[in-house]
Amino acid sequence: MNNFSSALFAETLKMRRSKVPLFTALGFSIMPFAGGFFMIILKDPEAARAMGLISAKAQLMIGVADWPAYFGFLLQAVAAGGLILFSIVTTWVFGREFSDHTVKELLALPTSRAVIVTAKFIVISVWSLAVTLLVFGIALVVGYLIVIPGWSTELLRTSFLGMLGCAILTLGLIPFVALLASIGRGYLPPFGWTILTMVLAQFAAIMGWGDRFPWAIPGLFSGAAGPRAEVLGTHSYIILMIAFFLGLAATFWWWRKADQTR
């Protein structure tokens, strides 16, 4: 337990002393402001046209200026942007050990490698969920300031659970990013993997296979292709869970077998 506490403290300290958490929070926080901007356009299309803004694109992306549409936009943004953001976080947490040439010292520690990897995944999860909650809080403030209709406590509850669900499902795909950052000993392989899976997720959704392709499931859960109950089944969540455990097991196995030759 002491080894785990020390490992968790060390990973948390690395995060606190870095500017990456600040940059990821700022980057992810753009989404509620973008949604609020679209809401302003949709509330007064004529004024938007007079200012040179194109309201037709806003209508295609969101629809109408109300809270359900605003939350719907945020859910889809979290599902798509969350994969990128969480991948950046994971790539930094694992890949920096190789780019900073600290992996040799890390592997030589008396602390179990499994404990170190567990601490890294905990920091990634807490970090990612904290940024998601920050975005939701900013969204509430932005929506209140621009005064859009359709508010209800039930909508607040379902939207909060939906956004949290999108984040958790996306986190289920992160172990593969950690694995690629470890195998590739740096940043580029996991970034390439993230782009590839995003493209494949789009293709799978278009072909009607999204409910069976793990990387398309968070996007479908967000409601991008319709009500989640109609596009996802129990098998979808089982498939994603299997992918999560496979990625997790492969990452732990790699770190257990890793040597110090580089």
pLDDT tens-digit series, residues 9-37: 888 888 888 888 788 888 888 888 888 88
What integer pLDDT is reported at residue 50 of this predicted model? Answer: 56
Least confident of 66-75, 196-205, 221-230: 221-230
What integer pLDDT is reported at residue 56 of this predicted model? Answer: 46
Mean pLDDT of the chain: 83
Please calculate the CA angle 94-95-99 and round it to the nearest 5 degrees: 135
What is the number of alpha carbons within 13 Å of residue 174 lying toward its C-beta?
A: 30
Q: By C-alpha distance, which of 154, 138, 134, 156 is closest to 146? A: 138
Q: What is the signed CA dihedral for 161, 125, 255, 260, rounded to 10 degrees?
A: 150
Name every residue whose Cβ is closer than 8 Å to that of residue 58 and which is 6 or more positions away in sequence: 38, 41, 42, 48
pLDDT-based confidence at residue 261 (cuts at 50, 70, 90):
very low
Higher pLDDT, 136 or 23: 136
The pair of structure tokens assigned to 71 is 């939350």
What is the number of alpha carbons within 13 Å of residue 193 lying toward its C-beta?
A: 24
Q: Give yes or no for a contact between 202 and 79, defined as CB atoms under 8 angstroms apart.
A: no
**What percentage of the chain reaches a pLDDT higher than 70?**
86
Q: What is the pTM of this model?
A: 0.84
* pLDDT above 90 for 64: no
Terminal Cα distance for the chain, rounded: 30
Q: What is the signed CA dihedral for 218, 220, 223, 225, rounded to 10 degrees?
A: 150
* pLDDT above 80 for 100: no
Please calculate the CA angle 146-150-155 and round it to the nearest 5 degrees: 110
What integer pLDDT is reported at residue 123 of this predicted model? Answer: 92
Mean pLDDT, rounded, for 97-109: 72
* pLDDT above 50 for 258: yes
* pLDDT above 60 for 59: no
What integer pLDDT is reported at residue 60 of this predicted model? Answer: 44
